[in-house]
A = this chain, B = another copy of it.
């Protein structure tokens, strides 16, 4: 919508709302809904992985046997059996997680909003990876922090870079150790240990956001930082990538004293996550369903990733580099320094191919010669075709 069309009076907005602007990328990407566009832009999981029939049976069972509870207001903390299931799931490698450490959220995005609400003040420092998850920047920005980018390399965040100078005044450090959005990088176990050790003495929490952790192609997950320092890590999880995002069920695992504040903030924010969707999730997973279901998602995404990597190998000219993800949904591409991926997007969309430019994933100084490719919803033949077009566009600029 063009704001100049608007006739109603514009009331005085909050400072945070005045900073919100329409995203140029979003406008360009609107065309990607056309069926002829090969879109590597979406962050959507593949609907082929949604266990719809199982959810249908669960919904039916719940509305038959416990409609009054499933349709009534319920506790802000979330559905207790689901919290217990999550606590048990995370009580591994010697860590003991109590159900009172678990808060159910309306998707993982709400977890980010609540953390911002409870921890971030205007101009307080928030440490983020370089680049970092755009949705986290959007959430935290509502609370007007000052971002500090933590240096990274091809393995992710560099723990040694967390010097007292860099971290002074920080309210939190935000990281996605598994198959990060946008880079697809996985943080090695030694760095996890270093970061967990850092968290033990830091005067602020390390936020371990982990929506993609279950999606490692080899089925060999690395230990979470939560398991290494359960009293000092705030862990965010989600059922969006292992069941379905449309239910909007995520969770926060944190020390009880932070949960206590987060619950109050959540009460003011949406009272509670829908009782019905929480019960559907629990009903679907309670008998170990994820243990057989998640491997089928891993397998699909691994094959899709292989198709993307093969196509990049085939069509990208020299001077273009990318990583080889061990899991997740994204590949990160570095173009020659002179190519601005925002301009490239305009040309690509004209040729019915789409991706997300890398710039918006940087909190401060952006590397505009980067882009994110998502490969999970496009059939392999289309991946080949789409990357071929992209490769030709890039080649013409070198």
Which A residues are closer than 8 A to B by beta carbons? 1, 3, 5-17, 20, 22, 43-45, 47, 50, 52-53, 55-56, 59-60, 63-64, 67-74, 100, 106-107, 109-110, 113, 117-121, 124, 135, 138-139, 141-143, 171-172, 203-205, 231-232, 240, 244-248, 255-258, 260-261, 264-265, 267-277
State whether A261 and B13 are in contact (beta carbons under 8 Å apart), knowing that A8-B231, A60-B60 are contacts in the complex. yes
CB-nearest residue of chain B to A268: B138
The distance in angstroms between the C-alpha atoms of A124 and B13, with both chains bound, is 11
Cross-chain contact of A113 among B171, B255, B270 (Cβ < 8 A):
B270
Q: Which residues of B are found within 8 Å of A6, using beta-carbon distances?
A: 255-257, 260
The distance in angstroms between the C-alpha atoms of A110 and B8, with both chains bound, is 23
Interchain CB contact under 8 A, A14 and B244:
no
Q: Which residues of B are found within 8 Å of A100, using beta-carbon distances?
A: 1
Q: Which residues of B are found within 8 Å of A74, using beta-carbon distances?
A: 246
The distance in angstroms between the C-alpha atoms of A287 and B69, with both chains bound, is 26
The distance in angstroms between the C-alpha atoms of A180 and B231, with both chains bound, is 44
Cross-chain contact of A17 among B7, B52, B256, B265 (Cβ < 8 A):
B265
Q: Which residues of B are found within 8 Å of A44, using beta-carbon distances?
A: 72-73
| CB of A143 to closest CB in B, whole Å | 7
| CB of A308 to closest CB in B, whole Å | 21
State whether A142 and B113 are in contact (beta carbons under 8 Å apart), knowing that A6-B255, A52-B67, A56-B60 are contacts in the complex. no
The distance in angstroms between the C-alpha atoms of A142 and B268, with both chains bound, is 8
Interchain CB contact under 8 A, B20 and A261:
yes
